Structure 1
Amino acid sequence: MATIGTFSRTENGFAGAVKTLNLNVKSVKFVPAEGDNENGPDFRIFAGTTVEFGAAWNKQSDKGNAYLSVKLDDPSFPAPIYASLVETEGEELALIWSRRRPAN
């Protein structure tokens, strides 16, 4: 597992950056999703202010720790990127990449 992003909390979501060998997005925002779709995401993920390139769902680990299950996707990607946004020590959160798709 590799850290591909760092984030901080905002008034209503999260803001930070995502960087991989092929991806360097400096302004990423997690914005609460609108609507009451039971299976819909809890957050929409934007690059900059208008380009949506992912979604995130509130989850809880077996140990009871809250995290966000993240799916980033774009037509330029060969496949979606699955990751988890987790709390780290201090104020920051880390976006941790995973090769496997998380179980729902």
Structure 2
Amino acid sequence: MSRELDPVIHAQARLRVVVALNTLAHGDQITFPGLKDLLQMTAGNLSVHLGKLEEAGYVEIVKTHKGRTPTTYITLTRQGRRALEDYTAAIRELLDLS
């Protein structure tokens, strides 16, 4: 019996976000504009998907200030890394069934 695909990660845009964040070392962060540019997503679209990932506990979003400029940092949580590992294993299982 194969594993279920995580519907939170399975959406293409959220999968791209999680995979991009997974390339960072554990505990490293990326700014919202940096992630937006990297993924070539609009701010609104990225915000919606980050909200769903944060709700699932897969990303941590920290809003702070650099001087007077608001800055948002995003990092993949330990739970998010585990979810991606499980998702990848489920995909591999599905491919092995072919």
Q: Which has the larger radius of gyration?
A: 2
Query: Per chain length, whose mean CA-contact separation is higher, i.e. which structure has more relative contact order (CA < 8 Å, sep 6+)?
Result: 2
Give TM-score scaled by structure 1 length.
Answer: 0.31
Whose strand fraction is larger, Structure 1's or Structure 2's? 1
